[in-house]
Structure 1
């Protein structure tokens, strides 16, 4: 087992644990620190929220300890609820929770306090109004069954009024460390956690260990361990690979746009999306919690190949490309050619997803993204529709429509696109497109929706598009912060 070296509440710490140990298990079972709680063990409830500062982050960010590999702490600084109080002085987030009666049974409280701590930390560095949207983003990943959230919200709004002198260790530099490496060959059942720092190292490891699992945010992969009790004894961590961490403006296939490294997190991607793809940025508010967005990656959402992943339909509607790399070089292919069948992709056994190219929207192009799920926040899609188009004298052009939840893969609705392309905005044209759509997809029935439901809501999204075009600059349904 590899040795993990990190700072824990300012104290240098070294541990030896198996590869599939989570931060939560490390804290509670190995280090005897029980302040961090386990609620759902799937990254939904936020009871296990801790904060981490890495070499790429200017401040602490929140994450779910239950689904984050402990070995990813190597060389980082971990802060838990035990580390907030100094010399018997509570952190403003703790003090505000006490004064506003924000805690009842207390089980969820440590995670809420840690989310408030990261919000407070951001406010200290970049003061900005605590709008409802910011509060919802910061606390949307923390569930509480007791308080009704009002006192927690009051605590968030009042904690800036308290003074706090940060301990010196809060800004301590990460400990000197050597990367976690792997032998050139190992038995199939040998424990392995490798942390390459270059794409060349990553593809070499991929070739030597074709059965090892690649891990980035682990927001989906780790559920195999916590929910299915599967062993994850061979892991290759891609979060330290330099080439996978960058966003680069470029021209590819004669199109301007951006190459997004497969290891770029949603939180890191958000500023680009807000500037150039506001509908895509808006979707991120419903793509998991802040804790999940701080960890999940665009490359992981693609490579996971889930038919209900949130980002692939949007990327398909944008005509995105994906770059696949191995030891011999790289190749690029349209994202629409990447998904082959349920959980099957064009990735060869020795390849990794290295980058994603997102073409820039034309000045007159429009992107709309609508997600349907049982809960508004922090829930998996039942159906997600992404719509790209241009209007040329009232005629639909460059129509690209993609759905998640309507097939075994995220998929373009090419026949429906053809039915709308070159057509004026008219009810009968959209009704014809709805009929085409009903024949183009045969979705499955599951716990998130029946086949009939999915057919109906997909047709309703086309209806919403028609109404949006028919009544410009007017919301056609009750507006909510995140749709």
Structure 2
């Protein structure tokens, strides 16, 4: 690859950067290099949303795609071939406020104003999406999009009011045609090879290029969504002398049905992956919304979540329960294995030297299978799991269990199947007694640790109770609906009942 500068669109014009560390964040570039201080720095770990910006890039069909991300953990070289937008881009040249800004003003959506630029950028993304569709966002969409933006003083009611009101103002058009042509011109530069004072950053564009780089530089760190590695930079101050970025490899973004399986490329964004998965597995709906915030899901990848081998990653338990296979590549060689076999020990995987994760294969055979996944955490939203559980059982015509797959995160050094529990369930009628025996068998499968998120006894008891909840929702006779076991739904019912009683 020929060495060159980082090239991207900013303030409507092509920009080049060639004297900056490869681990410099987009936020540092904005505030310190080009003095665009509208974008704020809060947590420096992608949690508060004060640093939210918008990225524009061309999808595999050559269409412009926009997504809001946290600039505090995105590395500057990943901007290559993209367009960058900040809060300074919203108002017109004559100072006329954008409808999103005007709605925020009229709905009194700002007090101290520190978080306001991030909220505006998140709402701008929502505005553009619904402007293109000629629709109005729902309250659920608004809540989801704002999930990555923290407000400490104004409160969310006026912010939500602004989101509901922003389409009532005269429409402001976004010139997608010009941006698209600019990005096409940038693409002609080809893959990126960038160096700065002993640091190297490669951004290949094809699987072949990536495989060759991985073979040539096996010690280099693969970078996908930067939602994990970004914190190594901002919080741990790690030295990362060589990064290979997977985000520009089109094949790794592919999501498609292949016969009786769904294939998800390793660089597919979490939001895109869950959009596809929900068509086949609506049971993932709650987890999708509780899996990090919207801008994190706009940057993080399903393949990255799986590849790093974290024992508390929320993707692995349900993927294991659904019999997912992981596809690995080394040069031109492909191999695949059951996902549970990929994890060998804490932070240790089956990857060989020069090998990388290419994608995931998820069987779509749902006939007679009953599937659920649950997450327990101290906070309901945007929190690391204390326990994440997934269950899939296949029942025959008589209600006996032909196959059982039980998987947990947060219960061991790796995401792990509960083999003793599965053996107890196998061949048994799916009834109360079988569920109770399975719950007891979990004591043979796990000896969880105590930490800041949960104690060992709590984890074991919770794992057992979640299995019982799964039974209540999937038992052959009179299964309970999800809302009958949801604490928020039950709380609303109790409030309504109490109010009726007072009336």
TM-score normalized with structure 1 length: 0.94
What is the rounded CA distance, in whole Å, between the counterparts of 2:8 and 2:191 in structure 1?
A: 13
Matched with 2:434 is: 429
The one-character-per-residue Cα deviations of 1:364-419 (angstroms, maximum 9, x if unpaired) are 21220100111111111111001111232222332111100011001111211111
Contact map agreement 1:18 1:233 (CA 8 A) in 2: no
* Bigger proportion of residues as helix: 2
What is the rounded CA distance, in whole Å, between the counterparts of 1:76 and 1:58 in structure 2?
A: 10
Report the count of equivalent residues.
Answer: 475
Matched with 1:14 is: 16
What is the rounded CA distance, in whole Å, between the counterparts of 2:395 and 2:132 in structure 1?
A: 43
Matched with 2:258 is: 250
Instruction: Please state how far the C-alpha of 1:58 moved relative to its aligned partner.
Output: 3.6
The one-character-per-residue Cα deviations of 1:16-74 (angstroms, maximum 9, x if unpaired) are 22110111111111111111111111111111100111111644211010111111111
Matched with 1:458 is: 463
Q: Flag the 1:250–1:167 CA change in 2: closer, same or farther, 3 A.
A: closer
For structure 1, the 5+ residue unaligned runs are none
Matched with 1:80 is: 86
Residue 42 (structure 2) aligned to one of 39, 43, 67: 39
Alignment of 1:29-428 (within 5 A): 29-56=32-59, 58-86=64-92, 87-166=94-173, 168=175, 171-173=178-180, 174-175=182-183, 176-177=185-186, 178-182=189-193, 190-251=198-259, 256-392=260-396, 393-428=398-433
Contact map agreement 2:472 2:480 (CA 8 A) in 1: no
For structure 2, the 5+ residue unaligned runs are 492-503
Contact map agreement 2:24 2:76 (CA 8 A) in 1: yes
What is the rounded CA distance, in whole Å, between the counterparts of 2:241 and 2:176 in structure 1?
A: 34
TM-score normalized with structure 2 length: 0.90
What is the rounded CA distance, in whole Å, between the counterparts of 1:124 and 1:167 in structure 2?
A: 10
Contact map agreement 1:288 1:377 (CA 8 A) in 2: yes
Contact map agreement 1:374 1:448 (CA 8 A) in 2: yes
Instruction: Please state how far the C-alpha of 1:479 moved relative to its aligned partner.
Output: 5.0
Q: Is 1:5 the counterpart of 2:7 in the alignment?
A: yes
Q: Flag the 1:425–1:327 CA change in 2: closer, same or farther, 3 A.
A: closer
Matched with 1:447 is: 452
What is the rounded CA distance, in whole Å, between the counterparts of 1:213 and 1:262 in structure 2?
A: 15
SS in 2 for 1:324: strand
The one-character-per-residue Cα deviations of 1:317-369 (angstroms, maximum 9, x if unpaired) are 01111111112411111111100001100001200101111111322212201
CA RMSD of aligned residues (A): 2.0
SS in 2 for 1:459: helix
Contact map agreement 1:53 1:60 (CA 8 A) in 2: yes
What is the rounded CA distance, in whole Å, between the counterparts of 1:139 and 1:169 in structure 2?
A: 24
Instruction: Please state how far the C-alpha of 1:233 moved relative to its aligned partner.
Output: 2.8
Q: Flag the 1:128–1:385 CA change in 2: closer, same or farther, 3 A.
A: farther
Instruction: Please state how far the C-alpha of 1:112 moved relative to its aligned partner.
Output: 0.4
Q: Flag the 1:362–1:368 CA change in 2: closer, same or farther, 3 A.
A: same
SS in 2 for 1:54: strand
